[in-house]
């Protein structure tokens, strides 16, 4: 079927003891709650309200008095914590990929292997396409990051007929010398598989792939994203991959293997699970998802 999930969307169920996994998930969730409760801190976003009030002219105040007091936070550190930072957002797949099966099947070099240029991504059983979800969330995220002062570039904005290929997606982040890159996805797994996870690059050094320098910072970025995404959306980490941590290391994704800047993927939920799908199809939830991502990126870059 044309809506079959791409090769990296569908993960086989892990052959481990179910009960152990459930316990691990519960413990991890409790740990996350405990961490959140002890002042993990509001990541982003609230600086603006304070500054707006501060800079409002008061009745009877002279121009000099209205000038910002010397100890006032500067716009770049308060309302624009991401000023000077470049973030590349990579909306996974492309709605046009469905019409270009031959082009996206072309093999490209990912260092460790050769792999298809791109895939269609998954879709819900009733036809809501992952590519459309990814693009919508990515645009919301772009708006939020730009408000924080970041320079934001999308690898595609439904402005090309298909792709880009996964090697080009990596190259766009590299050439932008991005401070962080986030590839936005939703998964296509079995019903009952729920929750989000962040995919981190493995240590890979083969051919044109060398992730040595990005493994550490990418993990840091991924941990912040997983925590803030869960907090903003009120959803749990994946119950089918990552052992309840919401983190999963992979060495088979060209977009990560070929990156020379900190980069992770996020799988926001499972489009083949009815409960997850009810969230993914809600514009309000997608806004929360984008906010969680923005908070994670801001904490990583400016926290
Ligand atoms: Zn995908």
* Nearest to 248, CA basis, from 52, 8, 47: 8
Using the mean position of ligand 1's atoms as its centre, give its distance from the Cα of residue 63 in Å. Answer: 54
Letter string b/e over residues 13-32, b meaning 16 or more CB atoms within 10 A of that residue's CB: eeeeeeeeeeebbeebeeeb
For ligand 1, a single-atom ion, the residues with CB < 5 A are 92, 121, 185
Distance 152 CA to ligand 1 centre (A): 21
Q: What is the pLDDT of residue 39?
A: 27
Active site residues: 267
CA neighbor of 111 nearest in space, from 21, 65, 20, 174: 174
Determine the distance separating the centroid of ligand 1 and the alpha carbon of 266, expressed in angstroms.
Answer: 9
- pLDDT digit string (tens) for 19-31? 444 444 444 433 3
215-225 pLDDT per residue, tens: 999 999 999 99
pTM for the whole structure: 0.77
Q: What percentage of the chain reaches a pLDDT higher than 90?
A: 73
Instruction: Give the pLDDT confidence of 39-85 residue by residue, as tens digits.
Output: 222 223 323 333 333 333 344 444 444 444 455 555 556 789 999 99
Work out the mean pLDDT of the chain and round it to a whole number. 83
In degrees and rounded to multiples of 5, residue 28 shows phi and psi of: -65, -40
3-state helix, strand, coil in the chain (%, to 5): 40, 15, 45
Does residue 164 have a cis peptide bond before it, meaning omega lies within 30 degrees of 0?
A: yes
Alpha carbon of 134 to ligand 1 centroid (Å): 8
């Amino acid at each position: 079927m044309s809506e079959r999930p791409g090769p990296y969307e569908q993960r086989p169920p892990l052959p481990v003891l179910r009960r152990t996994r459930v316990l691990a998930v519960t413990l991890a969730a409790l740990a996350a709650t405990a961490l959140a409760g002890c002042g993990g801190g509001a990541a982003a976003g609230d600086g603006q309200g304070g500054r707006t009030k501060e800079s409002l002219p008061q009745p009877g105040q002279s121009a000099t008095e209205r000038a910002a007091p010397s100890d006032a936070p500067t716009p770049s550190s308060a309302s624009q914590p991401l000023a000077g930072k470049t973030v590349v957002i990579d909306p996974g797949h492309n709605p046009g990929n469905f019409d270009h099966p031959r082009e996206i099947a072309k093999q490209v070099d990912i260092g460790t292997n050769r792999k298809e240029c791109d895939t269609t991504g998954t879709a819900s059983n009733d036809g809501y396409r992952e590519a459309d979800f990814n693009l919508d969330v990515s645009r919301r995220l772009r708006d939020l990051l730009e408000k924080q002062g970041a320079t934001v570039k999308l690898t595609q904005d439904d402005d090309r007929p298909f792709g880009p290929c996964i090697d080009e997606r990596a190259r766009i982040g590299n050439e932008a010398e991005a401070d962080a890159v986030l590839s936005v996805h939703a998964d296509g797994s079995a019903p009952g598989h729920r929750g989000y996870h962040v995919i981190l690059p493995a240590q890979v050094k083969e051919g044109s792939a060398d992730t040595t320098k990005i493994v550490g910072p990418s993990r840091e970025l991924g941990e912040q994203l997983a925590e803030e995404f869960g907090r903003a959306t009120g959803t749990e980490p994946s119950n089918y991959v990552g052992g309840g941590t919401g983190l999963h290391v992979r060495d088979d994704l060209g977009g990560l293997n070929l990156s020379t800047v900190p980069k992770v993927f996020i799988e926001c939920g499972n489009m083949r699970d009815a409960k997850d799908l009810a969230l993914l199809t809600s514009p309000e939830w997608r806004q929360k998802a984008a906010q969680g991502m923005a908070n994670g990126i801001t904490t990583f870059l400016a926290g």
